Structure 1
Amino acid sequence: MKRGHVVDAGQTELAIPLEKVCYIIFKARELDAKDVVTEPDPGSNPSDDNDLAVLEDHPDDPVSEELTSLISNLSVDEQIDLVALMWLGREDYSSEDWEQVRSEAADAHNERTAEYLCGHPLLADYLSDALSMLNHSCTDYEMDHL
């Protein structure tokens, strides 16, 4: 079936599985929840500090590294869909423009997709909004993973 084609219940088919998008949203929300670094080099045992550093946005944050790695390891088509979803979710386009936005994302694709996407602090919201615009939802995924 052609990518972007409307399938059952008015849903637009994506090249990236919905579960992957939902996992990326989940990880992006974890990253968004991080607080500013209050003590860059505490020098003590994390357990002595009640592991508070895990809640701060350090440059070597494992959540950030996991999200970047996950996006980098997606196929080109999956990366293109993610960029298109982000653009759609930030209301640069309407759901009727899916084929156009996906085509423009394909034209803009490069090797920095993960850094580009992870550089947007509202990535999770944009992806979630775009899924909703295309009649998809992460509700089932969230119920199974929370």
Structure 2
Amino acid sequence: MVALPFDSSKIEELVLRFNAVMAKEGTDIPDLGGNASDDEVAATLQETDGDLSRDEITQEIESMNDEQKDGLVALFWIGRGDAEPEEWEKTKVLARQQHEGLVSRYLLGQPEAGEFLTEGLEKMLEYGVD
């Protein structure tokens, strides 16, 4: 039986954070002008220097041990369709071998990270994990 190196609820919480960050965009309009009440909506969708969401994800992922980081990347790849649940151990090894830089930076650079992590988790649960 395959075992995930983290609790599935931890992945679900992480996905919520990913989705919140991915919904935001870089600040590209320095002065919105116009109607102040309308400006608040655009401001909430723009990432600012004081926004902790991205930093929190980075800190959470980078505080994981190597096995958990490898598992997170493997889960992402399985969700994206690059591997199958039956290849879990092999995929984790491949994630370790191909690891360059921060895992958080890699995943935050993927626009559909939350979706693929969710899909990967669903596939692994269907396959049968502890």
Q: TM-score range by the shorter chain?
A: 0.7 to 0.9
Matches within 5 A, 1:96-111: 96-111=86-101
Flag structure 2 segments of 5+ consecutive residues without an equivalent: none
Per the alignment, in what secondary structure is the counterpart of residue 97 of structure 1? helix
Partner of 2:125: 135
Partner of 1:26: 16
Flag structure 1 segments of 5+ consecutive residues without an equivalent: 1-5, 7-11, 137-146
Q: CA RMSD in A?
A: 2.6
Partner of 1:122: 112
TM-score (norm 2): 0.79
> What is the percent sequence identity of the aligned residues?
28
Whether 2:56 is the aligned partner of 1:66: answer: yes
Per the alignment, in what secondary structure is the counterpart of residue 91 of structure 2? helix
- 2:70 paired residue among 53, 59, 80: 80
CA contact (8 A) 1:72 1:114 kept: yes
Shift of 1:131: 0.6
**Separation of aligned partners in 1, 2:82 and 2:31:** 40
Aligned length: 124
Name the CA shift for 1:110/1:38 in 2 (closer, same or farther; >3 Å). Answer: closer
More helix by share: 2
| Greater relative CO (CA pairs within 8 A, separation 6+) | 2
Name the CA shift for 1:35/1:112 in 2 (closer, same or farther; >3 Å). Answer: closer
- Offset from partner CA, 1:117-144 (integer Å, 9 cap, x none): 11111100110000111116xxxxxxxx
Shift of 1:37: 3.3
Shift of 1:52: 4.1
**Separation of aligned partners in 1, 2:8 and 2:56:** 18
Shift of 1:76: 1.2
**Separation of aligned partners in 1, 2:80 and 2:100:** 20
